[in-house]
């Protein structure tokens, strides 16, 4: 089980996130916990699994920092480095096959703001790149949600007034169906 210290562990949300942990249960009795505590690790979005034994953890802001990737092994949590996209790409999703990352940055609402938290909004630009960071390109205009199990990207339009569509990242074709085996659900 993956949890954020100070968010998942505080039912009243009176504290700030300050790390994350993984609890492993064996034989229904033994609980082994691996934690990484830091004021910089975690946000209310929380840590997320990034495939088997890998975890992506947002860092607190301001200032904006790129999320950190950890690997869970027998010795505990091992930091592997930061994600390979810009710090302001606060919405992101790794593809089911682990080969691509889709992300959407934020931008200040106006250039004369007094504080870093005064106003930020999604840019409405969705980028795609390989997981090691190469090949970054503008994929489409709109807002990002997640990947479908068959490897398409769920997106909506810039003003959020249309339903989400499944976007084929290779062809640019949009549809609503999900491919499950040989059955297409339209």
Domain ranges of the chain: 1-83, 84-186
**Contacts with 139 (C-beta within 8 Å, 6 or more apart), sequence order:** 102, 126, 127, 128, 153, 167, 169
Q: Say if residues 151 and 170 touch (Cβ distance below 8 Å).
A: no
**Which pLDDT tens digit goes with each residue over 44-100?**
567 888 878 899 988 877 778 899 999 998 888 999 999 999 989 988 999 999 899
Phi-psi region of 51 (alpha: psi -120 to 50; beta: other; left: phi over 0): left
**Which pLDDT tens digit goes with each residue over 88-100?**
998 899 999 989 9
- For residue 179, pLDDT over 60 is answered with no
| Spatial separation of the C-alpha atoms in residues 182 and 81, rounded to whole Å | 39
Q: How far is CA 29 from the centre of its chain?
A: 32
pLDDT of residue 90: 87
Higher pLDDT, 171 or 182: 171
């Amino acid at each position: 089980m993956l949890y954020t210290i100070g968010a998942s562990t505080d039912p009243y949300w009176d504290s700030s996130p300050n790390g994350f942990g993984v609890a492993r249960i064996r034989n229904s009795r033994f609980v082994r916990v691996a934690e990484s505590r830091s004021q910089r690790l975690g946000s209310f979005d929380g840590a997320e699994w990034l495939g088997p034994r890998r975890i992506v953890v947002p860092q607190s802001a301001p200032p904006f920092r790129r999320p950190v990737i950890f690997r869970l092994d027998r010795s505990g949590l091992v930091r592997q480095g930061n994600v390979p996209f810009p710090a302001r790409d606060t919405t992101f999703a790794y593809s089911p096959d682990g080969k691509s990352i889709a992300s959407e940055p934020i931008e200040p609402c106006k250039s004369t703001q007094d504080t870093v938290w005064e106003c930020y909004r999604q840019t409405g630009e969705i980028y795609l790149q390989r997981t090691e960071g190469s090949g970054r390109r503008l994929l489409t205009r709109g807002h990002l949600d997640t990947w479908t199990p068959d490897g398409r990207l769920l997106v909506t339009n810039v003003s959020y007034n249309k339903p989400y569509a499944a976007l084929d990242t290779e062809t640019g074709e949009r549809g609503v169906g999900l491919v499950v085996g040989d059955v297409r659900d339209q």
